[in-house]
């Protein structure tokens, strides 16, 4: 698998979209790794990952 760089992102993608893509496509949730691959700062990656965790915690078991 090739490493994603900031050059590979479609024009206009937000930091959140890039972080979500790295986290979900690669199943990578280490904020430093995600930040590097998404081309964002670590604090932004942490904030988006926290939002993702909250989003998924609200819906993950809804089918049970």
- The model's pLDDT over 20-60, given as tens digits with 9 standing for 90+, comes to 999 999 999 999 999 999 999 999 999 999 998 887 776 65
What string of H, E and C letters represents the secondary structure of the chain?
Answer: CCCCCHHHCCCCCCHHHHHHHHHHHHCCCCHHHHHHHHCCCHHHHHHHHHHHHHHHHHHCCCCC
Distance CA 64, CA 1 (A): 35
Query: Model-level pTM?
Result: 0.75
In a domain, 6, yes or no: no
In a domain, 42, yes or no: yes
Domain that holds residue 32: 14-59
Nearest Cα to Cα of residue 20 among 49, 46, 60 = 49
The number of folded domains in the chain is: 1
In a domain, 22, yes or no: yes
pLDDT at 54: 82
In a domain, 24, yes or no: yes
2: pLDDT confidence band, cut at 50, 70 and 90? very low
In a domain, 8, yes or no: no
């Amino acid at each position: 698998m090739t490493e994603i760089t900031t050059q590979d992102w479609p024009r206009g993608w937000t930091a959140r979209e890039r972080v979500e893509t790295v986290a979900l496509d690669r199943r990578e949730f280490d904020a430093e790794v995600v930040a590097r691959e998404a081309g964002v700062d670590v604090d932004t990656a942490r904030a988006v990952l926290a939002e993702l965790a909250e989003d998924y915690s609200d819906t993950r078991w809804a089918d049970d």
